[in-house]
Structure 1
Amino acid sequence: MLRRLCAYERTLPGRFPDCRKATMTRRSSSSQAPRRPTGWRRLVARLPVHLFHVGLGPALGKRLLLLHHTGRVSGRRRQVVLEVVAHDSRHGTWTVASGFGPKADWYRNLRQHPRTVIQFGNRRYAVTARFLSPDQSADAMARYESRHPWLAQILGAVTPLPTNGNEESFREAARSLPFVRLEVREGHHPR
């Protein structure tokens, strides 16, 4: 029952005070990434992929991109929608983070096949994945937190990241998340 109430606590902060202590204890004792969604939650999580397929990528704004990746074992083409942590249109880069840690399939697939394609809005770009160091990841997270403080608070509430709301705690939490910079390959223009 406490677990169910704590799930509501994440969406309605302050309503269930006993959950704060249980959540903080769980977070501090566990550094593992959140579990992947299953069942109806997986269907909801995959909905943005389908929106990109029917041409509604631009409706998702500049906060999401569709990453095409190749399965490292199967060789099959896969797709996932990721939140853009940072975008530099002048240099043609997008920075994304793996909220499920280094074991996320898309992240492991990019490690194997770093040259891929993304869709941002209604345009496709040929990109190469560059994997950021923990310090570079911390810098990216600090910039994200300063631009989107309320989203960073939500991120801290729904993941096991040990954050207390200040910049340094977000920097420290980001050191445990793998960040990837997707860079437009030279000579490849939007398709």
Structure 2
Amino acid sequence: MYRAGLGALFGSRLLLLEHVGRVTGARRYVVLEVVEHPAPDEYVIVSGFGERAQWYRNVLACPDVRVSTGLRRSVPAVATVMSQEEAAAVLERYARVHPRAWKNLRAVIERATGTTVDRLPMVRLKLTKGSREANR
């Protein structure tokens, strides 16, 4: 849907992250929930499957990514892993703002991983400065 230009149907709660496979170098795509949108050119996403998620491992190896969300399509961005303290603060805010969503999401993650969710790795996506799309 995102690649067809229909990402606006999902609003700003989801985004399509385009990243490069760390082994193959091939383009990879994943749709993720936006946990926080602190600035017009910044998004925070979470790895619900921890540090073993393939997209997470790929952005660690190559932080130059592209983001599609809402009306924005394939905007260049840089992915930066957040500290545990920053991630914990974001997760606390998310749980407070979206209590039902967090309750359901937490249950899904804990069932899938078999462990309790105390900390989740988060990534800040900063749209590239100077691009017309980043300033929308």
Regarding TM over 0.5, the answer is: yes
The SS at the match of 1:153 is: helix
The SS at the match of 1:85 is: strand
Backbone CA RMSD of aligned residues: 1.5
Paired residue for 1:95, among 38, 44, 47?
44
The SS at the match of 1:136 is: helix
Which residue identity lines up with residue 134 of structure 1 in the other structure? Q
Q: Distance in 2 between matches of 1:117 and 1:159?
A: 25
Residue 115 of structure 1: CA displacement? 1.2
Percent of matched pairs sharing the same residue: 41
Instruction: Please show how residues 23-34 of structure 1 align to structure 2 within 5 Å.
Output: none
- Write 1 or 2 for the structure with the bigger share of helix: 1
Task: Give the number of equivalent residue pairs.
Answer: 129
| Residue 116 (structure 2) pairs with residue 162 (structure 1) | yes
| Residue 31 (structure 2) pairs with residue 81 (structure 1) | yes
Which residue identity lines up with residue 74 of structure 1 in the other structure? T
Instruction: Please show how residues 42-121 of structure 1 align to structure 2 within 5 Å.
Output: 51-90=1-40, 92-121=41-70
Paired residue for 2:121, among 153, 156, 178?
178
Stretches of 4+ moved more than 2 A in 1?
none
Stretches of structure 2 lacking an aligned partner (at least 5 in a row)? none
The superposition leaves residues 81-122 of structure 1 with CA deviations (integer Å, 9 ceiling, x where unpaired) of: 0000001244x1100000111111111110111011100112
Residue 126 of structure 1: CA displacement? 1.3
- Write 1 or 2 for the structure with the bigger share of strand: 2
Stretches of structure 1 lacking an aligned partner (at least 5 in a row)? 1-50, 164-172
Q: Distance in 2 between matches of 1:189 and 1:183?
A: 14
Residue 156 of structure 1: CA displacement? 1.9
The SS at the match of 1:110 is: helix
Residue 130 of structure 1: CA displacement? 1.0
The SS at the match of 1:53 is: coil
